[in-house]
Amino acid sequence: MKDVALEWVIDMKIPRLEVKELTTKYITRFQENIYAVDHVSLKVEDGKSLGIAGESGCGKSTLALSLMGYYFPPLHYTSGEIIIDGRNISGMDPDDVRKSILGTEIAYIPQSAMNALNPTQKIINFIEDVVQAHDPYKTKKEVHDLARSSFETLGLPAEVLQKYPVELSGGMKQRTVIAVSVILSPKVLIADEPSSALDVTSQKMVIKMLKNLMENGFIKSMIFITHELPLLYNVTDDIMVMYAGQIVEKATAKEAVFDPLHPYAKGLMGSIIVPESGLRNTKLTAIPGVPPNLKNPPSGCHFADRCKYVMPECKVTSVGLREIFGGRAYRCILSEGELREVYSKEAYQNAR
């Protein structure tokens, strides 16, 4: 009994995935550095899912790639730590990461499942390669049994295994990719826009599958990346908003959507469109301007140029992430109270 209790305590204490001040960069053909992920820290605990939101080019997809701890050009690791189950993988030998982390500890679902599978290989042969890359002594039969049982549990027909990717429909392909990703029962799943290329019905099926994976304990935690905020709100427990390579807001899904603190997050949430009554009476928020070029990011707040509430010091002082009560955090020079005051004043004026 005591052991169980202790394990429970440890489980609570040590997050499944912890990232500390991770910075990665792209090196272009012209040897320019683009810091697409800039000192990002995050924590995901067991049974929790984390969503990452942001507009295109904010670095959310790069963050997904960077979290794998396995880098290839043009993406390069710069600094920071990635800790999975207490193991720091950022300093590990790439081949060790490949063998003992990828697919078994942490798995990835790519943005475009359409092209994620080798077109000239049957699904089952790819699964064989995946399994044998981690355990070369597994026999073909064992792999086939594993694949079949795993596909059946996930509600996919076993015939899919004998097919080539081109023979599958878009939604089926995406679900197959998810099934392949979790074949080695990874603890953490990183899904990068897994459903944005699909129609709404297939999207719903994919989301349902992911949620089932979480609920049935196939995976312990999930990081879900998308630009579709309503989707994110429905899928994950927590939401992080990224802007120009940095995290600007970190909160529970509900707080992030209905009570954002950072001016950018506020704008983003104000632009949500869902087919619900009352939509026609809301005024959508627009944020003028474009995100900064990450080749030479501004020295102060990255959002300063587009911010409605900008002050002269915003452009010069670099702003850190402010942690507030309840695990929330945001990146702004103003305090929580000051921000709320600004927002309520604005709402009052709009109402008049």
Partner 1 sequence: MPDETSVCLRTSGLTKVFGAGRQKCVAVDHVDMELCEGGVVSIVGESGSGKTTLAKMLLGLINPTEGDIYFQGKKRDIRTQKKKQEYWRNIQAIFQDPYCSYNMFNKIDAVLLDCIHMRGGRKLPRAKKTEMMAEACSFVNLKFEELTNKYPFELSGGQMQRLMIARIFLLKPKILLADEPTSMIDACSRATILDMLMQLRNEIGMTVIFITHDIGLAYYVSDVVYIMEHGKFVESGCADDVILHPKATYTRRLISDVPKIHEVWDLSTV
Partner 2 sequence: MEGYRKYFLSKLLWFSVTLVFAFMLNFILPRLMPGDPVRAMVSRMAQGMTNATGVQAIYQQYTELFGTNKPMLEQFFIYVKNVFHGDFGFSFSAYPRTVASVIKASIWWTICLQFPAIIVGWLIGNTLGALAAYLRKGFDKVLMPVSIFVSNFPAFGMAVILLVIFGVGLKWFPTSGGYGFDLIPSFTWSFMWSVIVHYQLPFWSIVLIAIGGQAIGMRSMSIYELNADYVKYSRFMGIKDRKIVGYVFRNAMLPQITGLALSIGTMVGGALVAEIIFSYPGLGYTMLNAVMGQDYPLISAATLIITLMVLIATFLIEILYGFIDPRIKAAQAD
Which residues in this chain contact partner 1 in the complex, by CB under 8 A? Answer: 55-56, 199-201, 203-205, 207-208, 211, 227-231, 233-234, 257, 267-268, 271-280, 284-288, 290
291: Cβ contacts below 8 Å, ≥ 6 apart: 55, 57, 58, 243, 244, 302, 306
Q: Which does 98 bind (CB under 5 to 8 A by kind): partner 2, partner 1, none?
A: partner 2
Q: Which residues pair with 87 in a beta bridge?
A: 84
User: What is the distance between the alpha carbons of residues 48 and 253, in angstroms, rounded to a whole number?
Assistant: 12
Q: Which does 243 bind (CB under 5 to 8 A by kind): partner 2, partner 1, none?
A: none
- Is 120 one of the binding residues for partner 2 (CB under 8 A)? yes
- Is 198 one of the binding residues for partner 2 (CB under 8 A)? no
CB of 156 to partner 2, least distance (A): 17
User: Both tokens of residue 9?
Assistant: 């305590």
CB of 68 to partner 2, least distance (A): 6
Residue in 15, 9, 5, 70 with CA at minimum distance from that of residue 220: 15
Question: Could you say which residues in the range 78-117 bind partner 2, by CB under 8 A?
Answer: 98-99, 101-104, 107-108, 110-112, 114-117
User: Both tokens of residue 324?
Assistant: 């507030």
- Is 118 one of the binding residues for partner 2 (CB under 8 A)? yes
Q: Which does 287 bind (CB under 5 to 8 A by kind): partner 2, partner 1, none?
A: partner 1
Please say which residue, 168 or 214, places its beta carbon nearer to partner 2: 168
Please say which residue, 101 or 265, places its beta carbon nearer to partner 1: 265
Instruction: Check if the beta carbon of residue 221 is closer than 8 Å to that of residue 46.
Output: yes
CB of 9 to partner 2, least distance (A): 32
Which single residue is written with the structure tokens 């009554």? 277
CB of 94 to partner 2, least distance (A): 10
Please say which residue, 82 or 179, places its beta carbon nearer to partner 1: 179
Type and span of the H or E element at 79? strand 75-84
How many positions of this chain bind partner 2 (CB under 8 A)?
Answer: 33
Per DSSP, the three-state class of 315 is helix
Per DSSP, the three-state class of 318 is coil
- Is 31 one of the binding residues for partner 2 (CB under 8 A)? no
DSSP track, 162-219: GS-GGGS-HHHHHHHHHHHHTTT--SEEEEESTTTTS-HHHHHHHHHHHHHHHHTTSS
Question: Could you say which residues in the range 49-78 bind partner 2, by CB under 8 A?
Answer: 68, 70, 72
Please say which residue, 107 or 268, places its beta carbon nearer to partner 1: 268
Using CB atoms within 10 Å of the CB of residue 259, give its burial: 0 to 12 exposed, 13 to 18 middle, 19+ buried: middle
169: Cβ contacts below 8 Å, ≥ 6 apart: none
Q: Which does 200 bind (CB under 5 to 8 A by kind): partner 2, partner 1, none?
A: partner 1
User: What is the distance between the alpha carbons of residues 166 and 118, in angstroms, rounded to a whole number?
Assistant: 10
Q: Which does 234 bind (CB under 5 to 8 A by kind): partner 1, partner 2, none?
A: partner 1
Please say which residue, 205 or 342, places its beta carbon nearer to partner 1: 205
CB atoms within 10 A of CB 336: 14
Site string for partner 2, 175-194 (x = CB under 8 A): --x--xx-------------
Torsion angle defined by CA atoms of residues 9, 249, 108 and 177, in that order, rounded to the nearest 10 degrees: 110
- Is 129 one of the binding residues for partner 2 (CB under 8 A)? yes
- Is 30 one of the binding residues for partner 2 (CB under 8 A)? no
Residues contributing to the site for partner 2 (CB under 8 A): 68, 70, 72, 98-99, 101-104, 107-108, 110-112, 114-121, 126, 129-130, 133-134, 164, 166-167, 177, 180-181
